[in-house]
């Protein structure tokens, strides 16, 4: 990425004679271009050095990396001067997979790898074909088989024992897989010429976007049982999943609507002139262009949405953040929550950062 | 042309109605029908379930005694007050976080956004790292992190004292305060009135200047109305401006302004998280101003502050304001995460109400009503502001 210079000063900096050692020239142009800038650089360097030094001291030199199993005395002896990373090897299986049966944890682990492979393949432009949809359906079905079991000699594991990273990935991916088509329908509905359909779509989007996700999750956890006929009750995870799909649908609809607005009128007119029906017109001509327009904002919505799945903590679903929070309830390890949060933050960061890098690269290629 | 062109169009089943209109009607009837059927199904189930569980519907419960404790509130509250009052206290708490959070996030975000554009490589890199890190970690995780850090602070007796009269401990942040009574409110009222009158006078003077081109002086009015007038009122009413310094008595602090750990953690989390998004908006806004505008202003020899205020900022704001509106809305909605750390905002109080009374539908309807009102107010104001600064073309 290029460094954007402070604009009013840039012309002067550019006119400096280009002589001398390139390293010195770079330093001069970027760090010591003027006296206030030089002072700023020195102050920032001092602060940065202090910050890095105290972090290294706390996180590396004074830290405890391993302890005998279930023994936190070495960590407690530190009294806050160092990090206790030993809690991670102690608890990582619980944080990653929750209460999934210990001997069967290769199944959620494999599911996580499948998810990652699926995301990776979906980012390849060469693979953006109809087959990708079938791939998604296939992989998601495979993951369901792995997680539930009960067939092919795999033992059955009920949903309330699932937890950790697979649950986060399931909530996000299924939310996306169902929210995306829902969003397309609602976006089309919002631009439809039919008043009843348009108003229903507007009502849906504005209601969902106007309230916090927390209240939708409360609704899913408390009110859903009231809505259903008596004796019919579905699992808490599925209820949260439905709330998340409805939520994703409303947000994605607005992004896609932006894309629909960017398709030139002539494209609609041309499609009409060909005598295509409404659905064929949208499927073959309008939507492919509209979605291509909004791929970067779509990826940004995915990132926001991936992070938002962590809110299911509030209704007690065992996603990655909840397992982390539960792992430190254990009195022996209670003081070391910062370490656990850093570990989990790193996992979220890797996923979101990868997506945001990808979105940036897409923007760069689409601008060309 | 043959005579065919003059032949009337073939008769259709519904007069001038075409196939398209008929199809449209069909789809609308179908979709509305499905929506009505689904809502009706859910409604009848709910009614059956409610009567089976002997829950009466309606908002009558709001008049009953709430009996829930609220630790930290802006308005006076005790557990014997009604649910309605508890609820209003919750709304006030939500607004307290949202309004202060929006102001602080805007300031911090603008500073970081400008830092990212700095000629100083180190500063712009650090700002970039700040933005990337905060944006890619869930807000709830950050909130829990800050809350844990607040709890890990030393106890009141060993509180940190970064400045005289400021204490940071596991009781929260304690600041010196000026107690506000009626005379102070009167003074504040006069200052606001002075500001409004000054604004009107300034507009009138600028309109005069537009007519005859002679510049008018506005600052004496500002001094008179915004400074001198409230000062006079303050002297007349004998307002005392003694600062109340917090002191440690026994195990807790007396006096001063206390920001409870829950409130403080929520505020830090919301402000830092939202500022990362605002920084990006500010950066893209400034970058959207064409380079030529800077060059032209420089060529005219304008002062830097004048150039920023009169030329760059008005153009950048056009790009900045619409996405900024959604960030303000996000911050307000995200304040509902308070429920995770036990700060009693409107969502948390409605949730407690729901658990105590079983009035799920009413409690959630109230949450939704509050947030829809806040959202609509913010977007109404920001749209008004946006329309004011938008580019008027032809």
Size of interface A-B (CB pairs under 8 A): 178
Contact A225/B at CB under 8 A: yes
The DSSP bridge pattern shows strands B247-249 and B172-175 to be unpaired
pLDDT number for residue A167: 92
pLDDT at A186 over 80: yes
Question: Alpha carbon of A140 to those of A33, A131, A159, A300, B307: distances in Å?
Answer: 55, 14, 16, 22, 56
Mind telling me how many Å the CA of B159 is from chain A's nearest CA?
16
Higher pLDDT, A140 or B234: A140
Q: What is the pLDDT of residues B125-156, one digit of tens each?
A: 999 999 999 999 999 999 999 999 888 888 87
pLDDT number for residue A4: 41
SS3 content of chain B, % helix, strand, coil (to 5): 70, 5, 25
Does A226 sit within 8 Å of B49, measured CB to CB? yes
d(CA A103, CA B367): 44
* Chain A residues 139-158 with a CB less than 8 Å from chain B: none
Does A211 sit within 8 Å of B298, measured CB to CB? no
* Maximum mean pLDDT: which of A69-78, A342-351, B339-348: A342-351
Contact A362/B at CB under 8 A: no
Contact A38/B at CB under 8 A: no
pLDDT number for residue B363: 87
The DSSP bridge pattern shows strands B252-254 and B247-249 to be antiparallel
SS (H, E, C) B144-198: HHHHHHHHCCCCHHHCECCCCCCEEECCEEEECECCCCHHHHHHHHHHHHHHHHH
Name the residue facing B123 among A44, A311, A352 (closest C-beta). A44
Question: Alpha carbon of B321 to those of B3, B250, B390: distances in Å?
Answer: 61, 49, 10
pLDDT number for residue B393: 59
Contact A10/B at CB under 8 A: yes
Name the residue facing B139 among A307, A314, A356 (closest C-beta). A307
Start-to-end C-alpha separation, chain B = 45
pLDDT number for residue B17: 59
pLDDT at B274 over 90: yes
B34-40 long-range contacts, CB within 8 A, separation 24+: B35/A200
pLDDT number for residue A1: 37
Q: Which residues pair with B247 in a beta bridge?
A: B254
* Chain A residues 41-60 with a CB less than 8 Å from chain B: 41, 44-45, 48
Residue B7: band (very low, low, confident or very high) from pLDDT cuts 50, 70, 90: low
Does B120 sit within 8 Å of A6, measured CB to CB? yes
Structure tokens belonging to residue A131: 């087959």
Q: What is the pLDDT of residues B372-390, one digit of tens each?
A: 898 888 888 878 887 877 7
d(CA A59, CA A64): 9
Contact A76/B at CB under 8 A: no
Q: Judge contact between A313 and A327, C-beta under 8 A.
A: no
d(CA B108, CA B270): 12
pLDDT at A366 over 80: no
Average pLDDT over residues B94-122: 91
pLDDT at B58 over 90: no
Residue B65 has what DSSP assignment?
B
Residue A12: band (very low, low, confident or very high) from pLDDT cuts 50, 70, 90: very low
pTM (two decimals): 0.85
Does A193 sit within 8 Å of B122, measured CB to CB? no
Residue A183: band (very low, low, confident or very high) from pLDDT cuts 50, 70, 90: very high
Q: What is the pLDDT of residues A36-89, one digit of tens each?
A: 888 888 899 999 999 999 888 888 888 778 777 677 777 777 776 778 888 888
Q: What is the pLDDT of residues B110-119, one digit of tens each?
A: 999 988 888 8
ipTM over 0.85: yes
pLDDT number for residue A85: 85
pLDDT at A13 over 50: no
Residue B13: band (very low, low, confident or very high) from pLDDT cuts 50, 70, 90: low
If you measure CA to CA, which chain A residue comes closest to B337? A214
Mind telling me how many Å the CA of B359 is from chain A's nearest CA?
10
d(CA A212, CA B347): 9
Listed range (A28-42, A270-284, B14-28) with the worst mean pLDDT: B14-28
pLDDT at A276 over 70: yes
pLDDT number for residue B265: 93
Does B139 sit within 8 Å of A223, measured CB to CB? no
Chain A residues within 8 A of B120 when measuring between CB atoms: 6, 30-31, 33, 37, 40-41, 44
* Chain A residues 205-224 with a CB less than 8 Å from chain B: 207, 209-215, 218-219, 222-223
Residue B238: band (very low, low, confident or very high) from pLDDT cuts 50, 70, 90: confident
Does A321 sit within 8 Å of B138, measured CB to CB? yes
pLDDT number for residue B380: 83
Q: Judge contact between B135 and B383, C-beta under 8 A.
A: no
Residue B70: band (very low, low, confident or very high) from pLDDT cuts 50, 70, 90: confident
* Chain A residues 262-291 with a CB less than 8 Å from chain B: 278
Select the residue from A2, A55, A194 to test the B interface by mutation, using most B Cβ atoms within 10 A. A194
Structure tokens belonging to residue B188: 């504040």
Does A314 sit within 8 Å of B339, measured CB to CB? yes
Name the residue facing B119 among A6, A225, A325 (closest C-beta). A6
Which 3 state secondary structure label does DSSP give B22?
helix
Does A349 sit within 8 Å of B136, measured CB to CB? yes
Select the residue from A46, A281, A301, A307 to test the B interface by mutation, using most B Cβ atoms within 10 A. A307
Per-chain mean pLDDT for chain B: 84
Mind telling me how many Å the CA of B69 is from chain A's nearest CA?
20
Q: What is the pLDDT of residues A211-237, one digit of tens each?
A: 899 988 988 888 888 888 877 778 888
Chain A residues within 8 A of B132 when measuring between CB atoms: 353, 356
pLDDT number for residue A11: 42
Q: Judge contact between B328 and B378, C-beta under 8 A.
A: yes
Higher pLDDT, A140 or B185: A140
pLDDT number for residue A297: 85
pLDDT at A15 over 60: no
Chain A residues within 8 A of B287 when measuring between CB atoms: 4
């Amino acid at each position: 990425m290029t460094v954007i210079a402070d604009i009013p000063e840039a012309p002067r900096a550019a006119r400096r004679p280009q002589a001398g050692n390139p390293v010195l020239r770079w330093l001069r142009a970027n760090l010591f271009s003027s006296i206030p800038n030089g002072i700023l650089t020195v102050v920032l360097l001092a602060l940065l050095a202090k910050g890095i030094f105290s972090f290294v001291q706390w996180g590396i030199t004074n830290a405890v990396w391993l302890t005998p199993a279930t023994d936190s005395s070495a960590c407690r002896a530190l009294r806050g001067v160092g990090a206790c990373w030993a809690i991670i090897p102690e608890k990582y299986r619980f944080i990653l997979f929750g209460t999934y049966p210990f001997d069967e944890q290769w199944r959620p682990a494999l599911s996580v790898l499948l998810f990652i492979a699926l995301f990776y393949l979906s980012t390849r432009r060469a693979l953006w074909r109809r087959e990708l949809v079938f791939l998604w359906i296939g992989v998601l079905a495979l993951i369901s088989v792995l997680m539930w079991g009960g067939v092919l000699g795999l033992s059955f594991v009920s949903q309330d024992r699932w937890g950790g990273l697979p649950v986060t990935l399931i909530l996000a991916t299924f939310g996306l897989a169902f929210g995306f088509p829902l969003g397309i329908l609602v976006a089309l509905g919002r631009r439809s010429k039919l008043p009843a359909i348009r108003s229903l779509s507007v009502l849906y989007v504005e209601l969902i976007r106007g309230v916090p996700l927390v209240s939708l999750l409360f609704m899913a956890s408390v009110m859903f049982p009231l809505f259903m006929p008596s004796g019919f009750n579905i699992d808490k995870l599925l209820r949260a999943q439905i709330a998340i799909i409805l939520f994703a649908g409303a947000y994605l609809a607005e992004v896609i609507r932006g894309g629909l607005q960017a398709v030139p009128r002539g494209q609609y007119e041309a499609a009409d002139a060909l005598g295509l029906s409404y659905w064929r017109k949208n499927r073959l001509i309008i939507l492919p262009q509209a979605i291509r327009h909004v791929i970067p904002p779509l990826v940004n919505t995915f990132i926001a949405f991936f992070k938002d799945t962590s809110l299911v903590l509030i209704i007690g679903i065992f996603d990655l953040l909840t397992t982390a929070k539960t792992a430190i309830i254990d009195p022996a390890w209670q003081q070391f929550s910062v370490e656990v949060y850093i570990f989990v933050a790193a996992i979220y960061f890797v996923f979101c950062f990868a997506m945001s890098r990808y979105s940036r690269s897409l923007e760069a290629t689409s601008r060309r | 042309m043959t005579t065919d062109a003059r032949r009337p169009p073939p008769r259709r089943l519904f007069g001038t109605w075409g196939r398209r209109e008929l199809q449209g009607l069909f789809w609308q009837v179908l979709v509305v029908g499905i929506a009505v059927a689904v809502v009706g199904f859910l409604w009848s189930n709910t009614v059956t379930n409610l009567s089976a569980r002997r829950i009466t519907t309606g908002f009558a419960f709001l008049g009953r005694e709430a009996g829930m404790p609220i630790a930290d509130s802006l308005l006076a509250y005790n557990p014997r007050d009604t649910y309605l009052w508890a609820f209003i206290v919750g709304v006030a708490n939500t607004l307290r976080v949202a309004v202060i959070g929006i102001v602080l996030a805007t300031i911090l975000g603008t500073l970081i956004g400008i830092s990212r554009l700095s000629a100083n490589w180190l500063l712009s890199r650090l700002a970039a790292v700040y933005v990337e890190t905060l944006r890619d970690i869930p807000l709830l995780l950050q909130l829990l992190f800050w809350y844990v850090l607040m709890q890990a602070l030393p106890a009141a007796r060993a509180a940190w004292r970064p400045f005289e009269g400021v204490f940071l401990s596991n009781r929260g942040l304690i600041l010196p305060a000026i107690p506000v009574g009626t005379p102070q409110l009167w003074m504040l009222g006069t200052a606001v009135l002075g500001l409004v009158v000054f604004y009107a006078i300034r507009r009138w003077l600028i309109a005069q200047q537009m007519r005859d081109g002679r510049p008018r002086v506005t600052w004496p009015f500002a001094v008179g109305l915004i400074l001198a007038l409230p000062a006079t009122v303050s002297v007349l009413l004998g307002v005392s401006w003694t600062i109340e310094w917090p002191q440690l008595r026994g195990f807790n602090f007396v006096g001063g302004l206390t920001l409870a750990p829950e409130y403080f953690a929520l505020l830090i989390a919301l402000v830092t998280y939202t500022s990362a998004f605002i920084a990006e908006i500010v950066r893209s806004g400034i970058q959207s101003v064409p380079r030529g505008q800077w060059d032209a202003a420089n060529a005219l020899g304008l002062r830097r502050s004048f150039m920023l205020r009169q030329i760059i900022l008005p153009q950048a704001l056009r790009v900045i304001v619409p996405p900024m509106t959604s960030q303000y809305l996000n911050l307000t909605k995200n304040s509902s995460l308070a429920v995770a750390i036990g700060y009693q905002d409107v969502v948390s109080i409605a949730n407690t109400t729901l658990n105590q009374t079983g009035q799920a539908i009413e409690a959630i309807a109230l949450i939704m009503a509050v947030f829809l009102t806040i959202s609509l107010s913010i977007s109404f104001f920001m749209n008004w502001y946006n329309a004011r600064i938008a580019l008027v073309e032809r």
